[in-house]
Chains A and B, each alone.
Chain A
Amino acid sequence: MENTSIQITTKTLNLQDCYNFVQDASCGGIALFVGTVRNTTKNKEVTLLDFSGYEPMAVKEMQKIANQALEKFSIHKIAIHHAVGELKIGDIPVIIAVSSAHRKAAFEACEFAINTLKETVPIWKKEHFEDGEVWVNAHP
């Protein structure tokens, strides 16, 4: 769909690409969510995160989220990009960009998209520590 940009990539995510995709003269604002790799989990130092996905299904689920956001909120365009592979502290695993005529819809759609992505999109991260590794969420 021309109002959505969905991507899963092993390359470094590009914030400018997401911004440029959603930017439009009809819009009064753009909301951006940028996920970044944090250096600790439960006071334990993280060395790197390894993201893997069921890519064809993950793309479909991300597309569904983008379509739902367009239906639910008065937004113009939405981009959802996710990285897979090994990411270091400070690297960017996910970017969501939303443009709209008025800011409220963009903020709401952006939050809806990241919350839903974390519940439904088949992507997994393994946290690596100095003394081992653990699949996140697998043993809550």
Chain B
Amino acid sequence: MKIQVLFFGITTDLTGKNSTFFELDSNTTVWDLKQQLIAKFSKLQHLHEFAIAVNEEYATDDLNLIDSDVVAIIPPVSGG
């Protein structure tokens, strides 16, 4: 299955991208994807934490991803 990954804030600088597509096995969880992202973009390790949103909602690590999901990497926010 294929998902889209969006990068925001500092993660655009760390990865050099605003978005990318990922080919994943079925039964991939948010936690699995985080490990794959860190493996592919090693500079993400410099970030002490980041959240994941799936289809514009915050997601927990155990959520199963499905085909065509839009996954956003959410580094610590700093609005206001």
Contact = CB atoms under 8 A, between A and B. Distances in A.
Contacts of A125: 78-79
A138 B9 contact: yes
B56 A120 contact: no
B47 A138 contact: yes
B78 A53 contact: no
Given A60-B56, A138-B47, A124 B9 contact: yes
A53 B79 contact: yes
Contact count band on A: 20 to 34
Sort A-B residue pairs by CB-CB distance and give the 4 closest, nearest first: A123-B79, A124-B9, A136-B78, A135-B10
A57 interface: yes
B45 to A, nearest CB: 13
A69 interface: no
A94 interface: yes
Interface stretch (A70-78, A98-106, A111-119): A111-119
A54 B74 contact: yes
Interface string A58-73: 1010000000000000
